[in-house]
Amino acid sequence: MRNPIPSFFRAPSLSRRIAWRVGLGVVSLIFALFAVLCVVLWKPESRTIYRDTADDAAQAIERRNGVLALDPARLPPRLREAPETAWLAAVDEAGHTLTWGKLPPEYRPVVAMLPLLSDSDLRSPDPRLAATLVVAERDWGRLRIIVGGVPEEGVIGLFAPLFYFVSLWMALPVAIVILLLVPWIVRRGLRGIGKVAEQARGVDMNRRSRHLDVAAVPSELKPLIDAFNQALDRIWDAAEARDRFLGNAAHELRLPIAIVRARAAALAAGPAKTSLLSDIARLENISEQLLDLQRVDRGLIANDTLDLVQVCREVGEDIAPLLVKAGYAFSFDAPAQPVYVSGDVGALQRVIMNLLQNAMTHGGGAGEIELSVSREARISVSDAGPGIAEEEYPQIFSPFYRLNPAAQGSGLGLHLAREVVTRHRGSIRVSRSAQGGARFCVQLPLLPAPARGA
């Protein structure tokens, strides 16, 4: 079982990358505009007081017995720590007033006008005159309070409230919306990629089929899909040229093979004749399998209901003499009842013959070769030879692949067998036999037994 790849080693998500980049870009733009705004608005001589200072000072004022009363201990630390310069003035809805600290003369007329004013920010180069006016809602009514004499100093003190507002109420919401919205938009825009990927997984490299759907992907990916479709055309063209060549070669080899077989049959009996006839039979089988592939691809192959037991028995009877002459013992095991499958009897017989010939060639010249059929429509061919290493299993069915380049064979037999089995909607695999050699299993779709009299 493959180990899962840790998340930090996986390819990053496109939607997340776009979301992060767009989010960072927009937030950076917001703060850049904020910096420009600060440069434009900042004046070294301007002084101001935070509204929070006035709001906190309003909480230190109560109305007792119809008059306003101040609790100095509840004043903000900034006011308590500057008794020489800090001041405030307050008025309620009933017109009661209260002052604290050294109220500048310039603001004494303003106190009488407080009921007519609303929230204001009063800046001044004179620290005494820098003030802020807020309207506070208390349990006992509305209170207007103006606080001054303790302005913020420097750029940080002047623009910290604005920075807080921009960060909390502009940059943060925008970043959250982008991080949530952009991935959804990207996934929605790229949802056609899943459809195209499914089409790509279903492409048969050996037979021409549909191209990938260019209209299903965004325009930015269309050149990639077009290039992939063009590559498919080249692969299909090459596969068709290969099949034509192999088919023509198989037809052309029929007559020479028949002539060689006739001449070999006239030789005197002996090991050399047995080996030669075995090689000729193998060559005939490969030639016919090449033609089988063409017939299957063109839809010319039969699709009859077959008794798999009878098909295997006939192949075993044909090859048994050759196996015995080559030094092997041969056994055939099958259920007494028929096992029905659908397919072409000649093509399936050549697959079984190919596997038996392969066992005869690589079985070591001794031991037993077993052919068996199960009730589940599984054909098994086993030998007692050296077997096949597990690391060779994935390549054993590749065309022209041979375990031992110096050994007999073209490397086409197992590949052709797999192609014919696959076109019969079956599968073929290799494993180690109970005798230590190789075991090939062909699984075909099982058909129900036909009704009597049908």
Q: Is residue 75 part of a domain?
A: yes
How big is the chain by its Cα radius of gyration, in Å? 46
What integer is the mean pLDDT of 69-77? 92
308 and 429 in one domain? yes
Q: Is residue 242 part of a domain?
A: no
**Lowest-confidence region among 106-120, 231-245, 252-266:** 252-266
Q: Is residue 232 part of a domain?
A: no
Q: Is residue 31 part of a domain?
A: yes
Q: Is residue 199 part of a domain?
A: no
pLDDT interval class at 70 (50, 70, 90): very high
174 and 136 in one domain? no
Q: What is the pLDDT of residues 394-411, one digit of tens each?
A: 888 877 666 665 555 556
**What is the rounded average pLDDT for all residues in the chain?**
81
Q: What is the pLDDT of residues 358-377, one digit of tens each?
A: 888 888 888 899 999 999 99
What integer is the mean pLDDT of 67-83? 90
**Lowest-confidence region among 12-16, 177-181, 308-312:** 12-16
424 and 308 in one domain? yes
Q: Is residue 279 part of a domain?
A: no
110 and 170 in one domain? no
Q: Is residue 112 part of a domain?
A: yes
% of residues, the chain, pLDDT over 90: 23
Indicate the pairing of strand 329-333 with strand 368-373: parallel
Residue with the bigger pLDDT between 104 and 15: it is 104
Residue pair 318/295 in contact by the 8 Å Cβ criterion: no
Q: What is the pLDDT of residues 148-158, one digit of tens each?
A: 988 876 555 55
**Lowest-confidence region among 27-36, 55-64, 206-215:** 27-36
432 and 313 in one domain? yes
What integer is the mean pLDDT of 275-280? 76
Q: Indicate whether 389 pLDDT > 50.
A: yes
Q: Indicate whether 234 pLDDT > 70.
A: yes
Instruction: Measure Cα distances from 76 to 101, 128, 144, 414 in Å.
Output: 14, 18, 17, 91
140 and 173 in one domain? no
Q: Rounded CA gap, 68 and 433, in Å?
A: 103
Highest mean pLDDT among 166-175, 284-293, 443-452: 443-452
Q: Indicate whether 383 pLDDT > 60.
A: yes
164 and 33 in one domain? yes
173 and 65 in one domain? no
Q: Rounded CA gap, 273 and 284, in Å?
A: 16
130 and 182 in one domain? no
Final residue belonging to a domain, choices 98, 125, 151? 151
Final residue belonging to a domain, choices 96, 124, 151? 151
**pLDDT at position 340, please?**
93
pLDDT interval class at 289 (50, 70, 90): low
Residue pair 262/276 in contact by the 8 Å Cβ criterion: no
**429: nearest Cα among 448, 449, 414, 416:** 414
Q: What is the pLDDT of residues 421-436, one digit of tens each?
A: 888 889 999 999 888 8
Which amino acid does the sequence have at 129? L
169 and 36 in one domain? yes
**pLDDT at position 219, please?**
80
Model-wide pTM > 0.95? no
147 and 123 in one domain? yes
177 and 63 in one domain? no
What integer is the mean pLDDT of 327-351? 90
**pLDDT at position 257, please?**
77
Residue with the bigger pLDDT between 295 and 313: it is 313
Q: Indicate whether 281 pLDDT > 60.
A: yes
Final residue belonging to a domain, choices 189, 207, 241? 189
**pLDDT at position 298, please?**
63
**pLDDT at position 8, please?**
42
Q: Is residue 322 part of a domain?
A: yes
Residue with the bigger pLDDT between 49 and 114: it is 114
> What CATH number should be reported for the domain holding residue 390?
3.30.565.10
Domains identified in the chain, total number:
3
- Residue 409: domain span: 301-443
**pLDDT at position 59, please?**
92
Q: Rounded CA gap, 312 and 218, in Å?
A: 54
What b/e string do you get for 405-425 counting C-beta neighbours within 10 Å, with b at 16 or more?
Answer: eeeebeebbbbbbbbbbebbe
**30: nearest Cα among 156, 173, 168, 171:** 171
**pLDDT at position 5, please?**
46
Instruction: Measure Cα distances from 152 to 82, 166, 370, 416 in Å.
Output: 13, 19, 98, 88
What integer is the mean pLDDT of 223-241? 87
Q: Rounded CA gap, 80 and 149, in Å?
A: 12
Q: Rounded CA gap, 352 and 310, in Å?
A: 12
